[in-house]
Chains A and B, each alone.
Chain A
Amino acid sequence: MLRFLLTRIGLVIPTFLGIILLTFVLIRLVPGDPVEVRVGERGISPERHAQLLHDMGLDRPLYVQFFDYVGGVLQGDLGTSVVTQRPVMDEFLTLFPATLELAVFAMLFAVLIGLPAGVLAAVKRGSIYDHAVMGTSLTGYSMPIFWWGLLLILLFSVTLDWTPVAKRLSDDYFVDEVTGFMLIDTLLSDEPGSFLNALHHLVLPTIVLGTVPLAVIARMTRSAMLEVLGEDYIRTARAKGLSSLRVVAIHALRNALVPVVTVIGLQVGTLMGGAILTESVFSWPGIGKWLVESIARRDYPALQGGVLVIAALVMTINLVVDLLYGLLNPRIRHRR
């Protein structure tokens, strides 16, 4: 087991270094330079341009910049945003809770609906329920979520006035930023009603971001359940006269969960991609929108730092899932 653990971790380190190199190189291939970003509707003199490049350390040889960057990253320093002149790490940490809060809700939504739906489809295989679940989930999986978000806003926010259009909290609530998680901050504050207001704001973005994971989880649960339900021990359990609900709940689901957990882990990357679109549609002040804007503003350090941290997060989560999977399923552990 220890050997399995060490090999897995051993694989992660070079990959992480590779990501640092990748982001560093990619971002320097972008045409134009960050000095231009500072210039407004007007031009800039070549002397001033050179001066600013020098001030930002961008006129040094690339390898010097690279080692400097790696050194910084190892100390948790991701550089300074060209646009706001603030440390990238600070900006990331300010915005990250918003994305995390949304992602957690989307995942909860996906699991809480997807799992039972998948089980239902498997147990009632071939029934109308099965077809409904599979049809809906395939549609959800095929959904362009940016369009989906617009449609939901049009229907629920603008036409029916049931949900807020955008953002995390109404602008007539003033809540101290303690944790950055709006639901926690509103609970800590003494503004009555702000918690419900924050929850209300989460509804549509959660649905939009959760749609694809929901579909994937429902489909995966169904096929995992079908596989387990066909195994001998389930048949035995049934033959022994155990109630069908008991069989499904205790025996089948527990075994089917293993691959489902893996899929949930793999959805983290998808969620980040989805967050980019969801956050743009709902003006959600999180990482996804920040990254898109960093690209548009050619804020090298922000983009570089953001991609790096996200890749590191995705890798860590996949590693944890991998290890869990290895723990749960000895066959995998010995395969390599």
Chain B
Amino acid sequence: MKRRLLGAVAAAALAFGFANAASAKTLVYCSEGSPENFNPQINTTGTSFDTAVPVFNKLVEFIPGTTELQPGLAESWEVSDDGLTYTFHLRQGVKFHARGGFSPTRDFTADDVIATFNRMWKKDDPYHTVSGGAYDYFNDMGMPDLISSMSKVDDHTLKVVLTKPEAPFIANLAMDFAAIHSKEYMDAMLKAGTPEKVDQEPIGTGPFIWANYRKDDRIIYNANVNYFRGKQPIDRLVFSITPDQATREARLEAGECDVIPYPNPANVERLKANPELQVLEQEGLNVGYLAMNVQKPPFDNVKVRQAINMAIDKEAILSAVYQGAGKAAKNPIPPTIWSYDESVSAYPYDPEQAKAMLAEAGVTDLNADLWYMPVQRPYNPDAKRMAELMQADLAKVGINAELKTFEWGEYRKRLQEGEHMMGMLGWTGDNGDPDNFMGVLLSCTSARQGGQNIAKWCNEEFTKLIDQAKQISDVEQRTELYKQAQAIFHDEAPWVPVAHSVVHMPMSKKVKGYKVHPLGTHIFEGVDIEE
């Protein structure tokens, strides 16, 4: 199978006029892991999303480097006055990729959009159960209940009717799971009896054509000469899979990689000092926090939670873990999101006061567990180190913290079940909407066992405010409601909000035009490399 494919790649290479591979302009991105598959509908990890981004377009897209929206496959759209009916005008003349064994006979139409969504939405769709058939993001964003109907007006006009007004809907369509697939390719693979190929050897409309994947080794993409925004400046994009952080950094320094994600923050200064490298920075749309399980005493006591907020020296954590490349957090949303409340005053670092408050609450010599993540995430580059610093801080106020961790999947599951007393986690925004933080992480609905609210904190007033804000589309009104919610969050202190990280992307100075995306995705559209 591999061989046939590569033959096709060679043929494609000839057709695109670069017979000699060495002359092709290549950019090497040393990614942090292997993708589960190449279909963002069914996978859930940033690593996998990254590998699909070059291949696909969405109806609406984020402008690289921002959370602002731009037209994608939909050139424009209108919303009815009741906020229920959306009419999308689709781009014309967009071509799907041609690659060994598949060449499209028609351009992109509304049928492709409908087929894409039907797979996730309709249980009787022939593709619904392919490759495990879990559509977590589609379901998590509430799409099955939200979409009432989706219909084709003509080839390039699509009508979507919602069951209720939902302010973040358009932003949701810019998320990875909403990548548009080719109906023709899906039909062809179904006919050939290999529907899973749609997920393993993707066909899209994006700037790069997926060419080859060698497991745990590398992924190769070729520039799409027919791309509707024009051919990319580079001819070839390689994801060279390098899971080990130390190895990744060494490879960048040795010139084996052009761009790497997730450097160790402790090494950023040294990388910056290297004359051949540049390190781009961007405040990430994220928050790293320590949640206190309010269902477990003594954390049911608000005084204890506030005391812990005062016992932890965030400045030390910022400099040790984030190497200064982070902003101390006080609210549950990052300052780059609208409605962030500057007026909230953060808890000061005051171990004496904290000790007094704990004594007042009758808490002395407390033994508590403190869970830290086994992996590095954009919002927390080194959870273990952070945990060790927190452990030392807590010891000073008479809390003996026992550090615990599990394998990542297990870790998350146990936190969601509420097994912990104190647990670290974080969140990177999906669509730049405040609801995507406060609704997902702090509402009563998600405080259920197994839910995302790992403080298990359910404040009815808070939940009422954010529910209300989600229904209206006026940004000013929404801002007001979210600010009130943030004030409640501050007083109730279910978390110690730790930091909003700054994302570092070290790369060769030859790389031009790369923009760090606040949502954490790594995007190579429009990136060039000097020969």
A interface with B by C-beta (< 8 Å): 31-32, 36-46, 48, 52, 55, 83-86, 91, 94-95, 98, 150, 153-154, 157-158, 161, 164-168, 170-174, 176-178, 191, 280-283, 285-286, 289-290, 293, 296-298
Contacts and interface: CB of A to CB of B under 8 A. Distances in A.
Given A95-B216, A171-B240, A165 B413 contact: no
Nearest to B35: A84
Given A39-B409, A167-B217, A171-B26, 4 more contacts: A40-B45, A42-B140, A85-B196, A286-B216
A32 B409 contact: yes
A157 B200 CA distance: 34
B293 to A, nearest CB: 16
28 contacts: A32-B410, A32-B413, A38-B134, A40-B136, A43-B416, A43-B450, A44-B450, A55-B132, A84-B36, A84-B215, A86-B196, A95-B215, A98-B217, A153-B250, A154-B250, A157-B250, A164-B254, A165-B247, A165-B251, A165-B254, A171-B26, A171-B218, A171-B256, A178-B3, A191-B21, A290-B215, A293-B216, A296-B408
B3 A176 contact: yes
B21 A174 contact: yes
The 5 closest A-B pairs by CB, nearest first: A40-B44, A285-B216, A285-B217, A171-B28, A165-B250
Contacts of B10: 176
A281 B254 contact: no
A170 B220 contact: no
B273 interface: no
A178 B133 CA distance: 32
A172 B37 CA distance: 24
B216 A290 contact: yes
Given A40-B45, A83-B36, A176 B129 contact: no
Contacts of A164: 254, 256
A178 B214 CA distance: 12
Contacts of B134: 38-39, 44, 48, 52
A44 B250 CA distance: 38
Nearest to B27: A171
A200 B304 CA distance: 59
Contacts of B136: 38-40, 42, 44
A31 B217 contact: no
Interface string B252-272: 011011000000000000000
Contacts of B215: 84, 91, 94-95, 285, 290
Q: Which of A48, A161, A171, A173 has the most CB of B within 10 A?
A: A171
B288 interface: no
Contacts of A91: 215
Interface in B1-31: 2-3, 6-7, 10, 21-22, 26, 28
A8 B136 CA distance: 52
Contacts of A283: 241-244, 247
Nearest to B417: A43
Given A150-B246, A167-B217, A285-B216, A38 B132 contact: yes
A98 to B, nearest CB: 8
A168 B217 contact: yes
B254 A285 contact: no
Contacts of A45: 450
B131 interface: yes
B409 A157 contact: no
A172 B200 contact: no
Interface string B119-152: 0000000000101111011011000000000000
A41 B106 CA distance: 38
Nearest to B408: A296
Given A36-B413, A167-B217, A42 B243 contact: no
Given A43-B416, A164-B254, A283-B247, A36 B410 contact: yes
A236 B129 CA distance: 78
A171 B451 CA distance: 42
Contact of B409 (A36, A94, A161): A36
B199 interface: yes
Contacts of A172: 22, 26, 28
Q: Which of B43, B215, B217, B416 has the most CB of A within 10 A?
A: B217
A297 B409 contact: yes
B322 interface: no
Contacts of A38: 44, 132, 134, 136
B427 interface: yes
A290 B243 CA distance: 11
A125 B250 CA distance: 43
Interface in B407-445: 407-410, 412-413, 416, 427
A279 to B, nearest CB: 9
A178 B129 CA distance: 33
Given A157-B250, A281-B244, A174 B220 contact: yes
A98 B409 CA distance: 29
A46 B450 contact: yes
Contact of B129 (A55, A84, A150, A170): A55
A283 B247 CA distance: 7
Interface string B457-483: 000000000000000000000000000
B409 A37 contact: yes
Interface string B231-249: 0000000101111101100
B427 A41 contact: yes
Contact of A43 (B129, B238, B451): B451
Contacts of A158: 250, 253-254
Contacts of B67: none
B380 interface: no
Q: Which of A84, A150, A170, A286 has the most CB of B within 10 A?
A: A84
A247 B7 CA distance: 56
Q: Which of A39, A41, A168, A293 has the most CB of B within 10 A?
A: A41
Contacts of B216: 95, 285-286, 289-290, 293
Q: Which of A37, A85, A154 has the most CB of B within 10 A?
A: A85
Contacts of A174: 21, 220
A86 B132 CA distance: 11
Interface in B370-401: none
B452 interface: yes
Contacts of B244: 166, 280-281, 283
B2 A177 contact: yes
A299 B340 CA distance: 41
A85 B37 contact: yes
A289 to B, nearest CB: 6
A50 to B, nearest CB: 13
Interface in B254-312: 254, 256-257
Contacts of A31: 410
Given A32-B410, A39-B136, A95-B216, A177 B3 contact: yes
B72 to A, nearest CB: 23
Q: Which of B44, B247, B256 has the most CB of A within 10 A?
A: B247
A173 B24 CA distance: 11
Contacts of B34: 293
Contacts of A95: 215-216
Contacts of A167: 217, 240, 242, 251, 256
Contacts of B240: 167, 171
A84 B215 CA distance: 10
A81 to B, nearest CB: 9
B244 to A, nearest CB: 6
B22 A43 contact: no
Contacts of B413: 32, 36, 39, 43
A43 B44 CA distance: 11
Contact of B412 (A41, A165, A168): A41
